[in-house]
């Protein structure tokens, strides 16, 4: 069930009515049932795998909580790590790798045949959520959840199971148990956010995706300006796509009286790569920092402090951790390279003079560091999106060259936009040449990127949607109808799945 579908709208409507209609102590049950139905829509086999993994971690956390013997506790933790990371490795990396193998080796054949189960949707996300919970129990930062039902609802919560944000049990479980009463203002806020998320997805992200996919799937057909434009669009396509999903997930949760973690904080206003990672996919960054980066740093420092300079150890840690972050996104060298490049960026930033590691002073320095950071991040996105390292190399080495006429090179990439065509038809400009339509399409895409950035700027100054909520009723409703009209008339209805759905 796509979250951009009439069926999902009806589904959320029914769930909301049932949720608030149910007695407070049974509301979690409505959420669990809804989450089960939602996840089952992706396949019964995936649901079985999810259920088994929930049972395993629920039991192991309980066992950790019931024993004080360090050895036993570490054993149960190890089992949980093995099951979770093993599932991730098996379904996400190993099974796809052996799929094409012609082998009679029994265990390889078994692994190969597992591909019929597919990769369970949201595997990367709910695995980290469950692991975080088990580790928190091990560290005694939280006590094991006594109710299987609540725990299952926490893991399978339908707004965020497929693409995050990665929640913490200490943050989500109490809210699930509280079962907030209906609040009209909250509901309006939630729906506002969902509407804005849908707009970001179909009007901005999917429109940019058409250009990006055309170029990145066949980069050698395109000249420098087209490669440059597609790379610029890519940066905003990824952001609009991923943040749109987050908006929809958080909006639905908010409608139900539940607050999920914010996942983005104006990432392209970052003035360093460290700052970028405090603003991008925040729930993943926090998870990595808490459960991987800090323990690894501490461990390595403890072990090698006498022999290796701490700075060198930090470089190793950042490269290793960011490489794993790349691998988390997918079993591809390009993702790993993307992660390693960010690891390199962070390592270099660590070595910068202290003055440059502090926040910038003044507008010019801010603008310069903003530009440099955006450039570095966009360069890394090339690796994230390219179909191969060779394609990435080609794009990087050619995107600043000009072959032929500049405007033709750019406009050649831009398809005739159905939304723009519709607009022209309404204005009676049916005889407009293709070039005009393409130029308008280009201008529209750039304008929409501007809208995205303006919304982020407004967010940085107190909240874009909050300012909408404070506006007079006529302005608020005008905004709602303008966004809805934008979705209906300018939406790119071309069946583009959410990017992070694959992870």
Partner 1 sequence: MPRFILKLLLFALPVACYGLVAIGMPYYAGEFTPLRQVAAEQAASPVASLYGRAYRDDFVAYKLLSTQLRRANILALGSSRVWSFRAGLFNKAGASFYNAGGGANTISDLGQFVQALAADQAPQVLIVGLDQDWFDPAHVPTLVTSPAEALNQPAMDDQALLNTGRSAMVDWLTGRWSVLQLLTRKDPITQDHAVGIRAIMTGDGFRKDGSRQFGHLLSSPTATADRLAETRRRIEISGDRFEYADQFSPTAVAKLGTFLDECQARGITVIGFSPPYAPSIYAEMAASAHYGYIPKLGAELGRLFAAKGLAYFDFSDGHLPGITDDNFIDGFHGSEIVYSQMYLQMLEAQPDLLGQYSEAAPLVARLQQPRMNNLTLFDNDAVP
> Quick one: which segment of 33-41, 63-71, 158-166, 489-497 binds partner 1 (CB under 8 A)?
489-497
Written as six digits, the tokens of 172 are: 């989500």
Q: Is 484 in the site for partner 1 (CB under 8 A)?
A: yes
CB of 280 to partner 1, least distance (A): 28
Q: Which of 329, 342, 361, 398 is catalytic?
A: 329
Q: How many separate helices (H) and strands (E) can be counted in the chain?
A: 25, 0
Q: Which is nearer to partner 1, 407 or 493 (CB)?
A: 493
CB of 448 to partner 1, least distance (A): 17
Q: Is 81 in the site for partner 1 (CB under 8 A)?
A: no
Written as six digits, the tokens of 432 are: 């407009």
Residue 498 DSSP code:
P
Exactly one of 2, 103, 170, 466 binds partner 1 (CB under 8 A); that residue is 2
Written as six digits, the tokens of 485 are: 């009209």
Q: Is 190 in the site for partner 1 (CB under 8 A)?
A: no
Give the DSSP letter string of 272-339: SHHHHHHHSSHHHHHHHIIIIIHHHHHHHHHHHTTTS-HHHHHHHHHHHHHHHHHHHH-SSHHHHHHH
SS3 call for 385: helix
Q: Which of residues 371-430 bind partner 1 (CB under 8 A)?
A: 418-419, 422, 425-426, 428
Q: Which is nearer to partner 1, 8 or 93 (CB)?
A: 8
Nearest to 81, CA basis, from 62, 108, 53, 107: 53
Q: Which is nearer to partner 1, 68 or 495 (CB)?
A: 495
CB of 264 to partner 1, least distance (A): 25
Is the CB of residue 271 less than 8 Å from the CB of residue 377?
no
Q: How many residues bind partner 1 (CB under 8 A)?
A: 27
Q: Which is nearer to partner 1, 374 or 424 (CB)?
A: 424
Judging by beta carbons within 10 Å of its beta carbon (0-12, 13-18, 19+), is residue 408 exposed, middle or buried?
Answer: middle
Written as six digits, the tokens of 26 are: 């049974």
Q: Is 495 in the site for partner 1 (CB under 8 A)?
A: yes
Q: Is 184 in the site for partner 1 (CB under 8 A)?
A: yes
CB of 418 to partner 1, least distance (A): 7
Give the DSSP letter string of 14-82: HHHHHHHHS-GGGHHHHHHHHHHHHHHTT-HHHHHHHHHHHHHHHHHHHHHHH---HHHHHHHHHHHHH
- What b-and-e string marks burial along 468-503, b requiring 16 or more CB atoms within 10 Å of the CB? beeeeeeeeeebeeebeebbeebbbeeebebbbeeb
Q: Which is nearer to partner 1, 40 or 487 (CB)?
A: 487
| Whole-number CA gyration radius for the chain | 24
Q: Is 1 in the site for partner 1 (CB under 8 A)?
A: no
CB of 426 to partner 1, least distance (A): 6
Q: Which is nearer to partner 1, 120 or 419 (CB)?
A: 419
Nearest to 4, CA basis, from 262, 241, 330: 241
Q: Which is nearer to partner 1, 390 or 425 (CB)?
A: 425
CB of 326 to partner 1, least distance (A): 31
Helices (H), 330-405: 333-351, 354-357, 362-385, 389-398
Long-range CB pairs of 70-74, under 8 A, 24+ apart, other chains included: 73/138
Written as six digits, the tokens of 350 are: 């660590």
Distance in Å from the first CA to the final CA of the chain: 17
Residue 360 DSSP code:
P
Q: Is 481 in the site for partner 1 (CB under 8 A)?
A: yes
Q: Is 493 in the site for partner 1 (CB under 8 A)?
A: yes
Written as six digits, the tokens of 120 are: 């369970």
Exactly one of 19, 20, 268, 412 binds partner 1 (CB under 8 A); that residue is 20
Q: Which is nearer to partner 1, 106 or 184 (CB)?
A: 184
> Quick one: which segment of 39-47, 116-124, 437-445, 487-495 binds partner 1 (CB under 8 A)?
487-495
Q: Is 6 in the site for partner 1 (CB under 8 A)?
A: yes
Exactly one of 101, 262, 494, 502 binds partner 1 (CB under 8 A); that residue is 494
Is the CB of residue 284 less than 8 Å from the CB of residue 293?
no
Q: Is 329 a catalytic residue?
A: yes
Q: Which of residues 441-480 bind partner 1 (CB under 8 A)?
A: 477, 480
Q: Sketch the per residue contact string, 202 through 231, with partner 1: x for CB under 8 A, - otherwise.
A: ------------------------------
Q: Is 336 in the site for partner 1 (CB under 8 A)?
A: no
Q: How many residues does the chain have?
A: 503
CB of 6 to partner 1, least distance (A): 5
Q: Which is nearer to partner 1, 400 or 485 (CB)?
A: 485
CB of 96 to partner 1, least distance (A): 25
Q: Is 491 in the site for partner 1 (CB under 8 A)?
A: yes
Written as six digits, the tokens of 166 are: 């990665």
CB of 252 to partner 1, least distance (A): 14
> Quick one: which segment of 181-189, 265-273, 304-312, 436-444 binds partner 1 (CB under 8 A)?
181-189
**Which residues of this chain interact with partner 1, rule CB under 8 A?**
2, 4-7, 20, 182, 184, 187-188, 191, 418-419, 422, 425-426, 428, 477, 480-481, 484, 488-489, 491, 493-495
Q: Which residues does the annotation mark as catalytic?
A: 329
């Amino acid at each position: 069930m796509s979250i951009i579908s009439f069926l999902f709208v009806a589904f959320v409507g029914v769930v909301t009515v049932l949720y608030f209609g149910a007695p407070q102590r049974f509301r979690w049950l409505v959420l669990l049932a809804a989450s089960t139905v939602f996840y089952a829509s992706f396949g019964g086999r995936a649901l079985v795998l999810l259920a088994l993994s929930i049972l395993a971690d629920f039991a192991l956390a309980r066992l950790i909580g019931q024993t004080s013997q360090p050895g036993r506790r570490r054993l149960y933790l190890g089992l949980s790590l093995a099951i979770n990371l093993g599932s991730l490795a098996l379904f996400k990396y190993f099974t796809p790798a052996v799929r094409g193998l012609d082998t009679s080796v029994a265990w390889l054949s078994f692994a190969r045949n597992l591909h019929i189960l597919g990769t369970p949707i949201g595997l990367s996300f709910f695995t980290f959520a469950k692991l975080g919970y088990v580790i928190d129990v091990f560290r005694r930062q939280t006590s094991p959840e006594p109710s299987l039902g609540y725990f299952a609802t926490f893991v399978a919560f339908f707004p965020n199971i497929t693409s995050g944000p990665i929640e913490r049990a200490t943050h989500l479980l109490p809210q699930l148990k509280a079962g907030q009463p209906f609040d009209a203002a909250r509901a309006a806020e939630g729906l506002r956010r969902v509407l804005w998320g849908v707009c970001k997805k179909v009007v901005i992200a999917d429109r940019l995706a058409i250009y990006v996919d055309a170029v990145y799937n066949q980069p050698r057909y395109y000249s420098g300006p087209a490669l440059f434009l597609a790379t610029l669009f890519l940066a905003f396509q990824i952001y609009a796509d991923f943040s749109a999903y987050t908006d929809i997930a958080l909006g639905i949760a908010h409608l139900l009286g539940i607050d999920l973690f914010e996942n983005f904080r104006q990432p392209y206003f970052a003035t360093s790569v460290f700052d970028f990672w405090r603003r991008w996919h925040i729930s993943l960054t926090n998870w990595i920092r808490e459960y991987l980066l800090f323990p690894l740093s501490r461990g390595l420092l403890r072990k090698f402090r006498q022999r290796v300079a701490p700075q060198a150890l930090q470089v190793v840690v950042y490269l290793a951790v960011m490489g794993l972050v790349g691998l988390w996104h997918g079993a591809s060298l390009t993702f790993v390279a993307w992660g390693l490049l960010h690891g390199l960026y962070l390592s270099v930033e660590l070595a910068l003079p202290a003055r440059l590691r502090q926040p910038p002073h003044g507008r010019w320095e801010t603008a310069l560091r903003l530009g440099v950071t955006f450039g570095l991040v966009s360069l890394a996105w090339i690796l994230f999106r390219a179909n191969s390292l060779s394609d990435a190399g080609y794009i990087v080495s050619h995107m600043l060259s000009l072959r032929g006429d500049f405007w033709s090179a750019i406009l050649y990439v831009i398809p005739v936009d159905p939304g723009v065509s519709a607009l022209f038809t309404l204005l009676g400009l049916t005889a407009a040449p293709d070039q005009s339509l393409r130029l308008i399409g280009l201008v529209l895409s750039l304008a929409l990127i501007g809208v995205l950035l303006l919304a982020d700027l407004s967010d940085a100054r107190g909240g874009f949607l909050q300012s909408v909520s404070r506006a007079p009723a006529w302005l608020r409703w005008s905004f709602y109808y303008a966004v809805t009209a934008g979705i209906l008339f300018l939406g790119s209805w071309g069946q583009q799945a959410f990017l992070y759905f694959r992870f």
